[in-house]
Amino acid sequence: MHIAVIGASGNAGTALLRNLQGQLSGKPGSLQLTGVSRRLPDTSRAPYAGVEWHTLDVGLERDRPKLESALAGVDSVVHLAWQIQPNRDLDQLYRTNVTGTANVLEAARKAGVKQIVCASSVGAYSKASKDRRTDESWPAQGMAGSHYSRHKAAQEKLLDEFAEAEPGITVARLRPALIFQRDAGSEIGRYFLGPVIPRLLAKRPWLPLLPVPDNLIFQAVHADDVAEAYWRVIDQRASGAFNVAAEPVLTPQEVARIVQARRILPIPMGLLHKAVGLAWRLRLIPTDSGWVEMAAGVPVMDTGRARRILGWEAKTSSVAAVLDVLAGIGMGEGVAPSPALEPRRGNPLRS
């Protein structure tokens, strides 16, 4: 089987390469791996060694021939490439995220690929109540106030149209919760908190008081568990959408335990939205208030379909996944061979 991973040097892509190379263990020649990324990782080091690499930008018209060439002879494509920064250049984000997905689908069709597995997200869903679980039938039309959510919804529409137009190609998508691993600590800190705040975080944060909205309820999953879900979709030629998340659901009470907070100070979601928006406009953080709107609105996912069809279940709890990434943020950890996951330079100052 020949598998191409687009966005192979990022958070989920690196975990997927680790997983696929584990599948290769003891089975030489059973899998052929192709990696596609904008920047070439160090191909002499695991997990990037033993992979045929192509460097290109999926959103650029001039790189479409390169993309088609990279997918020649491939059986399954896993499309993970996604850009969330620079947060202030929505045209660039749309080009990579939505136009890039359209380009991948067309290149896969021309190359004769028989299976496409795409990284969607819990963020693709329309707003839902947090008091019940929702399955994959919930509308994936996004939330207007979040560019990430809008782009994921646009991607979902492209996948629906492609699946209808190409019945001979198996199309699947994963809708994971927040994907965490220690190796992504530096990247996640840089993307969402900026260059300064992560340097002030301890390996295990301790907050005497946690100001948080009562309805800030979300899910998380470890990158290795997401990688296993991708492999099972590929191996079983599964189609359709799959929610992927670990237990437990993360409530303000769970978050308080994680950060060792003695007390929770309930604050209105609207206040958090305004505070993040102001900090973004003042360029104190790289994350706009749309992320707060999305966090407030996304559903609590039911992962029963992944269990029933794929036999998948998270091995790492959501709490452990959060602790893992917090340690990575505090220590500035990453994967040196990957430009996307590059560790933070210098000695971090920790409170």
Tens-place pLDDT, residues 47-72: 999 999 999 999 999 999 999 999 99
The answer to whether residue 202 scores a pLDDT higher than 70 is no
SS3 of 266, please? strand
Map out the domains of the chain as residue ranges.
2-176+220-244, 179-218+249-301+313-331
Cα–Cα distance, 99 to 111 (Å, whole number): 18
Which two three-digit tokens encode residue 337?
């061979």
Q: Which residue type is seen at 140?
A: A
Cα–Cα distance, 6 to 63 (Å, whole number): 13
Residue for token pair 């499309």: 79
159, 225 contact by CB (below 8 A)? no
Q: Tell me how crowded residue 110 is: count the other CB atoms within 10 A of its CB.
A: 13
pLDDT single digits (tens) 326-341: 999 888 888 878 888 8
Question: What sign results for the dihedral spanned by CA atoms 305, 310, 311, 317?
Answer: negative
How long a stretch of residues is the chain? 351
Q: Tell me how crowded residue 213 is: count the other CB atoms within 10 A of its CB.
A: 18
Comparing C-alpha atoms, which of 112, 91, 111 is closest to residue 100? 91
More confident residue, 105 or 185: 105
Architecture category of domain 2-176+220-244 in CATH:
3-Layer(aba) Sandwich (3.40)
The verdict on pTM exceeding 0.85 is: yes
